Amino acid sequence: MADTRPSNEHAARTVREQIVFTGRVHGVGFRATARSIALRCDVTGWVRNQPDGSVMLEAQGPQHEIDSLIREIDSEMGRLITDIRRAEMPISRDESAFEIRR
7-55 residue pLDDT tens: 444 457 999 999 999 999 999 999 999 999 999 999 999 999 999 999 9
Tell me whether residue 31 is one of the annotated catalytic residues: yes
Residue range 44-82, pLDDT digits in tens: 999 999 999 999 999 999 999 999 999 999 999 999 999
Residue 2 has pLDDT above 80, yes or no: no
Residue 38 CA to residue 99 CA, distance in Å, equals 9
Alpha-carbon torsion 55, 33, 100, 42, what sign?
negative
Instruction: Check whether 1 has a pLDDT greater than 80.
Output: no
Q: What percent of the chain has pLDDT over 70?
A: 89
Catalytic residue among 31, 71, 101, 102: 31
Cα distance between residue 43 and residue 98, in whole Å: 7
Active site includes 101? no
Among residues 24, 40, 48, 49, the one annotated as catalytic is 49
Tell me the average pLDDT of the chain: 92
Across the chain, where does the E strand assignment appear?
14-23, 44-49, 55-62, 81-89, 98-100
User: What confidence score (pLDDT) does residue 12 get?
Assistant: 76
pLDDT of 101 reads 96
* C-alpha to C-alpha distance for 31 and 3, rounded to whole angstroms: 45
